[in-house]
Structure 1
């Protein structure tokens, strides 16, 4: 959604937001419980996406994006004329920013109606629309170098922006447009319906029509834009899954490609609430809403490109590795947590309450009798306030009792965000992350699968596609190394073909080489091979591919469990 407000109305909303009782004034001493042994899902940074979050090939820079571990974006289509939120010229079409987004390890949806200049959209007739659709799709098909277009979003917020009087019903318009796209592009997923709000009757009618016309979306999309709507997200997911079951539709991934309200967009603790429920209730991806300026990652950066308080909350989240583990909120206190078993790090990001609260972490028996604990904070300031770094509130060594430790987080504000990091006494098992799980990486045209034989319990299979840039299969690993030098990269893989298979290997946009995988005992039966990679200090992007632009294609098939740098 973009703003459709006068300057006076917008000012009233901003002032009103500070007066509304949206967040608690004081706390009752609540505890967020973290269960390290209760895995929710592999870390994929579900909430680290944005609508119009990338403004150009350099805004934000790739180096700014990488620590946030973005998963996906929604961007306007090639040839966009859209002027969002008072912009004086169009920006950031999907192909113009594709390189930046790819280097950051993310994918993107193309929002097709943003070919129009205004919002709400001004319908110009079916002939005009269908000509626009053909042009957008052809522009994408001509971009044979672009691998990161993961969906056509046919319309945006049709529950109030679709011109029924001129265009007919939206459900009929969906079917007509879906069929037109498929005459040109049978590969790229189509996502929708993109409603501004979740509504049972509307979703049921849409999916009934989509099933009857064989135009069911490949991913289901709606928006969550009301104040404190995180409280309803679990109900919306449950209702949607019940509709799928009722209609006999196979489960679709859920993408919330706009989340957070106008009033609360700049509040770090609200972002933490959203991240927590998005992870807990099964979204595949979610994008921060576009209420203000394009290219600031929706308020994670100031207009001059410096980090805000919310940036640091997302950076803590972006540093998560391994598995997301179960968190149990109490009252307004909520959070998301991960456990990286390769380094023995528990990372908890929390917020939403004020006063003296606590985080109780269970399942720490393997950490020993004591643990090191660091508690950090960022203030509740908004998108115009530069925050150079989090504040370290405390560092301590605490005794573990019965496999648990309770960490006090005193002096909280309801708007701020907080991080609790727990390691065995003496620190994590390695000073920098060396093992990177494939299921934590960017997985394109392949599947995350579970196996007791896989490290961390998961691996990536079905890395089979090599036909063109739309169906190429690959895994992009974002790694962070301390110094520039050559590293030995050990790949843990499985190859059940009975013959040697190959993948292409490229990193940081460099030349392709070939990795050979001798046969293993079977699928999900893992072995290792080692190669040398020359990496620069800091963040690097490593791609292992069956198919990718400028690569002739791998042979046979292989599954990926992890890579390790040493």
Structure 2
């Protein structure tokens, strides 16, 4: 049974791409037009992974980058309705962050499709059940790409209808924002601006139409085909001066000149743009990443993951070059491809993202979960004999188990039923708290995983789930030395309607169907009882009571214990101040974690 959900809170996010002139940007955008192209020219292929050896990827477990939120676990047109497009059982392990889906009434026939698909309101329940949020790309109401614009009267009618349909979907809680237009730096400029006005005027007019109907849902933009400093500065200055600033910044990272290599530089440049205009930082969504050749290479996916995490990107979506409803090539006939396993390992990460220091093209993303006593390193990018050095594993004991696994190097039309286990070995931790793991005979296209655990005492299944690793909707994550894992979720305050209700969704996995005792670690400094609603797997609501804690806000010392009847496998547990079907909680409480016993 699916049940409704909603958008993640707007945390800080960063991202960008290189500065190019309009003519080169237009050529790139035409080559990379995300929807409506069936065959992609060879000119869009990114530089192949290096074929070098003798490199070391360094992982510093003691240097925290950010809480795990699976930033790169998203896709454009990645999910369709129905049981196998894709099935929930395939989506659960990916730990979805955010998708970009077409709007209600979608008419797009992308990449040779004969019927429109993937309407965001139609797929909302499935995406919610998998833990994900969605942006609605409003310009995809048009049937062709580039968009077959008719007139302002036609657009205003379409826009009004789309927003009204979303407003009527009162149980849909996972709409993270409206993306007004896609790739305006060439689908509007140079095509429509001579007759319909500048894109700046188009943005302002459309923004005001949306806000006249819906004053709450975030608006995302500008959705450019790449990052251009001058273009972005001019857009943000206009948006500031007209009171139409986007709530979420959107642009794409596609191809040789705007792939993973430029993420950090672009983020830094955009943050400087915001500062120069006197603006606060807002979340950044890279809602298309990866060129046609890149989406079939597991190691390239790992490069994007690593760069997005380092740069503080809020969410990122794999580009839609080929088939819809396949998580952009992670599945073929609803079965995993090689790239799926790289994202599944990424989905297995919990706790905190920790620092990785690449060398040459050898790079990766790593997490450390102190509660689970687990280091999870997903890496790749070079051939031959290389090394992964992990510093700071002394807390796991004097010896650790290290399992090395790999994907295949095949593309989106070849299934891989399971990762290949290369080796399982016991390593002695050096006096400086490090281990050095040789990884010989690497293939530059494959992705690899190193899973490091103690030699004994490791639980067979995850029992504690941190709130900051969960799907946080209309609430915010904060740091605190008093919280487990160093973070907690606060401002879970809203209960008004489906657009701004506050809740946290925990996607948990349990080994068997039974009743579990669930301990909720919280803070409540109101001096009186507070309550949240509790529901799981779309079932009935019950109430959780949080007695007051004396330690103050940001110090989650209280524990409330309830029983939950869970099925074997994945379950979605929601703790809510407000949610459809729930009358609303009382008072205020902050969430640190849940533990299943």
1:227 Cα deviation after fit: 2.9
Q: Pick from 521, 535, 546: which aligns with 1:506?
A: 535
1:290 paired residue number = 320
* Alignment RMSD (CA, Å): 1.2
Q: Pick from 440, 462, 468: which aligns with 1:410?
A: 440
1:250 paired residue number = 280
Distance in 2 (CA, whole Å) between partners of 1:313 and 1:349 is 7
1:76 paired residue number = 102
Aligned length: 557
Task: Tell whether 2:307 aligns with 1:277.
Answer: yes
TM-score by length of 2: 0.92
1:536 paired residue number = 567
Give the secondary-structure state (helix, strand or coil) at the position aligned to 1:85: helix
CA contact (8 A) 1:227 1:264 kept: no
2:469 paired residue number = 440
1:365 Cα deviation after fit: 1.6
1:253 Cα deviation after fit: 0.5
CA contact (8 A) 2:37 2:111 kept: no
2:28 paired residue number = none
Structure 1: unaligned runs, 5 residues or longer? none
Task: Tell whether 2:540 aligns with 1:515.
Answer: no
1:174 paired residue number = 203
Distance in 2 (CA, whole Å) between partners of 1:57 and 1:472 is 27
Give the secondary-structure state (helix, strand or coil) at the position aligned to 2:264: helix
1:525 Cα deviation after fit: 2.6
1:129 Cα deviation after fit: 0.4
Task: State how 1:232-243 maps to structure 2 within 5 Å.
Answer: 232-243=262-273
The ranges of structure 1 where at least 4 consecutive aligned residues each deviate by more than 4 angstroms after the TM superposition are 3-7
1:76 Cα deviation after fit: 0.3
CA contact (8 A) 2:37 2:112 kept: no
Give the secondary-structure state (helix, strand or coil) at the position aligned to 1:265: helix
CA contact (8 A) 1:320 1:338 kept: yes
1:530 to 1:5, Cα distance in 2 relative to 1, 3 A: closer
Using CA pairs under 8 Å that are at least 6 residues apart, name the structure with larger relative contact order, 1 or 2.
2
CA contact (8 A) 1:46 1:285 kept: yes
Task: State how 1:376-455 maps to structure 2 within 5 Å.
Answer: 376-401=405-430, 402-426=432-456, 429-455=458-484
Give the secondary-structure state (helix, strand or coil) at the position aligned to 1:225: coil
Distance in 2 (CA, whole Å) between partners of 1:21 and 1:523 is 50
CA deviation map 1:100-149 (0-9, x unaligned)? 00000110000000000000001111111011110000000000000000
1:6 Cα deviation after fit: 6.9
Structure 2: unaligned runs, 5 residues or longer? 1-32
CA contact (8 A) 2:36 2:112 kept: no
Distance in 1 (CA, whole Å) between partners of 2:587 and 2:488 is 18
1:89 paired residue number = 115
Q: Pick from 477, 495, 499: which aligns with 1:470?
A: 499
Give the secondary-structure state (helix, strand or coil) at the position aligned to 2:155: helix
CA contact (8 A) 2:36 2:109 kept: no
1:348 paired residue number = 377
Q: Pick from 588, 591, 596: which aligns with 1:557?
A: 588
Distance in 2 (CA, whole Å) between partners of 1:236 and 1:91 is 32
1:5 Cα deviation after fit: 5.0
2:358 paired residue number = 329
Task: Tell whether 2:249 aligns with 1:220.
Answer: yes
Task: Tell whether 2:158 aligns with 1:132.
Answer: yes
1:263 paired residue number = 293
Give the secondary-structure state (helix, strand or coil) at the position aligned to 1:145: coil
Distance in 2 (CA, whole Å) between partners of 1:4 and 1:121 is 10
2:173 paired residue number = 147
CA contact (8 A) 1:506 1:542 kept: yes
1:350 Cα deviation after fit: 0.2
1:28 Cα deviation after fit: 2.8
2:74 paired residue number = 49
CA contact (8 A) 1:137 1:184 kept: yes
CA contact (8 A) 1:22 1:227 kept: no
Give the secondary-structure state (helix, strand or coil) at the position aligned to 2:134: strand
